[in-house]
Amino acid sequence: MIMLEITNLHAGYAGLEVLRGIDISISPNEIVALIGPNGAGKSTVIKSIFNISDVTSGSIVYKGEEITDLHTHELIDFGISYVNQGRVIFSNLTVRENLEIGAELIRDRHVVEKNLSHVFRKFPVLKRKAGQLAYALSGGERQQLALGRALMQNPSLLLLDEPSLGLSPKLQKELFETISQLREDGLSILIVEQNAKKAIQIADKTYLLEDGKIALSGGKDIIKHEKIKNVYLGGRY
Amino acid sequence: MAVVAQLIINGLIAGSIYALVAAGFSLIFSTNKFMHFAHGSSVVIAGYLLFTFFSLWHIPFYLSCLLTVVLTGVLGVVLHRFVYLPLEKKNASTVVLLIASIGLLMLFQNLLQIIFSASVKTIGYVQVAQGVSLFGASITPLQIAIILLSFFLLILLYWFMKYTALGRNMRAIADNKELAEIIGIDHIKVASLSFFIGSALAGIAGILIGLEQNVYPTMGTMLIVKGFTGAVIGGIDFVPGSILGSYLLGLIENIGIWFIPSGYKDALSFALLFIFLLFRPQGLFGINKGVRK
Ligand SMILES: Nc1ncnc2c1ncn2[C@@H]1O[C@H](COP(=O)(O)OP(=O)(O)O)[C@@H](O)[C@H]1O
Ligand SMILES: [Mg+2]
């Protein structure tokens, strides 16, 4: 069975075509990485799944259902959660409010409480700082809060856009451990990363996106590919 | 001493009205990010609605008030849905929305003039009452009611914003609309709700000022300038800040006339407005780049 199947997707913004026919598939319980240079269209892939960018043609099928035209709340109800680029949180809300608002669409108070204690177990620092305004959090804590907020929605598929960007190597390491742990918990994850090496290491499958097209894809051994070696492991961009 | 007490009381009365107006204005601004100057229309239309229901049609007073407040709230939602939203859908800039809002303010002012004439209307529910004495100052029962009711409503608003899910969603949208959307909050619904609550508060201000003074077509314009100034002083996108700023404005205006002729009262608030816009646009308690200064 396939969790998410993107076929021949063309998408962009108001007339500007960014993605020019891409195919990506994600199986249950799989981490799929999407790497590539800045401006290649990585974020646009995630935004297309979340119906934020304009999809001009192609299909996006999730658990057998076409989701191309669904509204955000329907996607969330379906179990897709999105953590956007930049560790975005509500800085003027408390940590607890940031998490609770993640579960906005869940009506059952008990489920919300259960998810909250799950997130607090996963990220103890958020529990300690639950009552503080989120703007006081450090970069690493912000990323945990952004992840925690997405987990409050009970997702089966998590879309992560450059979660490691701007984090120290130590925090990056912790973050990738957390992400692997989430897969153990049963989630499927699509992760966009600029840290190609790390991404390939934790992913079951990696796609290289260049100029709106998939230039290369493969498993962990993709790391041995000439192109990846020469261009993407030389450094980060 | 009695004079000082009187000036402070007068300041509190004015501040209470300004705060009701400013709280709604700020609430609408924070979730919509444009200045709804037609908020002044909500104040004056409420005054005329009460005049129509109570003085012309003789509907019982409290029922008239209730109808007025609800209708004023609905008016705000109608403006949001049928004027601002269509403009926003066409990607109108905040300047265009601002101009539209000033246009609405003028339009309503003229409509009221056509329907009711430019002359002052008296609601006449409260008979001119002998003031009671407080610290040597004189205050009427209505004025006491204005101060207490505003205070109560603003506390209620604060509670709503802080402790309910809807209030939290309003703060979230004020903070980061894009993020609010990707977690599934319907920002149009929340924006409409803030128009309803904000306009209803303006309606209550309109009722109170209509009872305390009289009703006349330009009163909305006068009050939105004051509410706006109060909001700017306190911090335009931070509701509690704009409430405090408004009380401060009321006090400064009224204590100011201890030093300068009372005819310059309005000039004083304009001067304050410009000083803040120039030197501290985020206000005394405003939010600047996510950090409450
Ligand atoms: N909201 C937008 N409106 C118009 N163009 C956009 C928008 N977002 C991104 N783009 C353009 O789309 C292209 C791909 O962007 P993006 O998907 O963010 O790339 P990546 O995430 O790979 O760095 C870029 O050329 C960018 O300028
Ligand atoms: Mg990107």
Measured between beta carbons, the chain A residues lying within 8 angstroms of B240 are: none
Integer Cα distance of B28 and B206 in angstroms: 17
Q: pLDDT at position A145, please?
A: 97
Q: What is the mean pLDDT of residues B214-221?
A: 95
Name the percent of chain B lying above pLDDT 90: 84
Integer Cα distance of B196 and B187 in angstroms: 14
The structural domain count of chain B equals 1
Strand, coil or helix: B9? helix
DSSP helix, strand, coil percent of chain B (3-state; round to 5):
75, 5, 20
Beta-sheet pairing, A80-83 with A4-13? unpaired
Which CATH number do you get for residue B158? 1.10.3470
Q: Are A166 and A135 in contact (CB under 8 A)?
A: no
Q: pLDDT at position B287, please?
A: 65
Task: Give which of A179, A180, A135, A134 is closest to A160, Cα–Cα.
Answer: A179
Q: pLDDT at position B293, please?
A: 37
Q: What is the mean pLDDT of residues B227-239?
A: 94
Q: Which residue has the higher pLDDT, B209 or A229?
A: B209
Location of structure tokens 């509204």? A71
Task: Give which of B42, B14, B48 is closest to B27, Cα–Cα.
Answer: B42
The structural domain count of chain A equals 1
Chain B touched by A91 (CB under 8 Å): yes
Name the residue range of residue B89's domain.
2-292
DSSP β-bridge partners for residue A208: A35, A216
Name the residue range of residue A222's domain.
4-88+156-232
Chain A touched by B171 (CB under 8 Å): yes
B1 pLDDT more than 90: no
Q: Are B227 and B269 in contact (CB under 8 A)?
A: no
Distance of CA B191 to the CA centre of its chain: 17
B292 pLDDT more than 50: no
Integer Cα distance of A167 and A176 in angstroms: 11
**B243-270 per-position pLDDT tens digit:** 999 999 999 999 988 888 888 888 888 9
**Ligand 2 mean position, distance from CA A196 (Å):** 14
B288 pLDDT more than 70: no
**Ligand 2 mean position, distance from CA A193 (Å):** 9
- Is position A99 within any domain? no
Q: Which token pair is B287? A: 């939010």
Q: How far is CA B68 from CA A30, A95, A228, in A?
A: 58, 39, 69
Strands, E, within chain A: which ranges? Answer: 4-13, 16-26, 31-35, 54-62, 65-66, 80-83, 157-161, 188-192, 205-210, 213-218
| Residue B264: Cβ-neighbour burial (10 angstroms; 0-12, 13-18, 19+) | middle
B56 pLDDT more than 80: yes
B233 pLDDT more than 50: yes
Q: Which token pair is A93? A: 């809300």
Quote the mean pLDDT of chain A: 93
What band does B291 get if pLDDT is binned at 50, 70 and 90?
very low
Q: Give the global pTM.
A: 0.92
Amino acid making up residue B38: A
Which CATH number do you get for residue A18? 3.40.50.300
- Is position A130 within any domain? no
Integer Cα distance of A18 and A62 in angstroms: 22
User: Which atom, in ligand 1's list, is nearest to the CA of A36?
Assistant: 22
Q: Which token pair is A33? A: 């990485």
**B124-163 per-position pLDDT tens digit:** 888 777 788 888 889 999 999 999 999 999 999 999 999 9
Q: What is the mean pLDDT of residues B201-215?
A: 96
Pick from A73, A91, A153: which is nearest to B290 by CB?
Answer: A91
* Assembly ipTM: 0.91
- Is position A104 within any domain? no
Measured between beta carbons, the chain B residues lying within 8 angstroms of A91 are: 175-176, 290-291
Q: What is the pLDDT along chain A (237 residues), one digit of tens a residue?
A: 899 999 999 999 988 999 999 999 999 999 999 999 999 999 999 999 999 999 999 999 999 999 999 999 999 999 999 999 988 999 999 999 999 999 999 999 999 999 999 999 999 999 999 999 999 999 999 999 999 999 999 999 999 999 999 899 999 999 999 999 999 999 999 999 988 889 999 999 999 999 999 999 999 988 888 888 777 666 544
